[in-house]
Amino acid sequence: MSFLVRVNENFQDYLNTEYESTQKTRLFYIFPLIKLISTLWMIVVVNYAIKTENAYISYIVISIVLILSATLLKINIKRYIKFLVVLGILFPLIVTIPLLFSSEGLTIWSFNIFSINFTVTQLGFNLARNFLLRILANIAIITFFTLSTPFTHIIHILHQIRFPSVLITIITLTYRYFFLFFENLIKILRADDCRRFEKYAFKKRFTHLGTIFSMLLLRSFNHGTKIHQAMLARCYNGDLPDINYRPKLLNTLIYLLCMILLNTLIWIFFV
């Protein structure tokens, strides 16, 4: 219960950061398709540079993203670093640790666990380091794009590139329903915690969790039915309307020139 509450608080914290960063900042008025193309190209350049064992490029990219986030998006750097650490270190760490012991070469550390020898080599350490730095750099770039681009602008990009309307509708509804489902889960868990006077046994917890998630499924289904009926009452015909806004050409050109210059410098000095 407490774990899910902390997850909910961190998730709400990230949503507040995303909302604050997309409120009429300078990057808000840039053509979103240009931001998407430059983000994808930046990911390709950074991954190719790290592949050539230029690991310093990751530190440079992460530092640039942090500086831009603080100056242009005006977000809390501590909050942003916390988000990067959770996504870029805790989750990939499960994959990174085996890379330390997967290669032969110069031994830098060796230890035994239950008569099993584990040896960390220089090559394995370099592979694990490059893998982790690559993930951190990519997450920093993608997070900067999502924080500077509202979700409605991302949907606008999908409309422009002629993405199937059915998939756009599914993505939009899934994005909006996700918050509803998570909020319902927190409410159910809090209500259960207030009405329970004793801790369940270990085996009974699984049965109780099954009951809670069954209740969540039924409640979410009822909410989904009501929302669908409300959409039909508002003349929903299967296509969601696209936004119509005018980005500033000058901001877009400046952003495009800066991205071209940054990618060129990375390519010259690190590739």
Residue spans per domain, the chain:
25-149+248-271, 151-240
Q: What is the structure's pLDDT at 166? A: 81
Main-chain dihedrals φ then ψ at residue 196, nearest 5 degrees? -110, 130
Q: What is the pLDDT of residue 264?
A: 77
Output the six-digit token pair for 18.
């995303």
Instruction: State the Cα–Cα distance between residues 181 and 185, nearest whole angstrom.
Output: 6
According to DSSP, residue 164 is labeled: -
Q: What ranges in 22-164 are assigned the alpha helix state H?
A: 32-51, 56-68, 77-85, 93-100, 122-148, 151-160
CB-side neighbour CA atoms (13 Å) of 153: 22
What is the model's pLDDT at position 226? 84
DSSP 8-state class, residue 109:
E
Burial environment of residue 202 by CB neighbours within 10 A (0 to 12, 13 to 18, 19 or more): exposed
d(CA 17, CA 208): 35
Q: How far apart are CA 269 and CA 271, in angstroms?
A: 6
User: What pLDDT is recorded for position 18?
Assistant: 62
271: Cβ contacts below 8 Å, ≥ 6 apart: 45, 48, 49, 52, 54
Q: What is the model's pLDDT at position 92? A: 66
How far the first Cα of the chain sits from its last, in Å, is 48
**Identity of the residue numbered 209:** L
Say how far residue 27 (Cα) sits from the centre of its chain: 19
- Residue 128's pLDDT is 75
Per-residue pLDDT of the chain (271 residues; tens, 9 = 90+): 555 556 666 666 666 666 665 565 667 777 888 888 888 887 887 777 766 556 667 677 777 777 776 677 666 677 677 777 766 666 666 677 666 666 666 666 666 667 666 677 777 777 777 777 777 778 888 878 877 787 878 888 888 788 888 888 888 888 777 777 777 777 777 777 777 766 766 677 777 777 878 888 888 888 878 877 887 787 777 666 666 667 777 777 887 887 788 777 777 766 5
Dihedral sign (CA 154, 159, 165, 167): negative
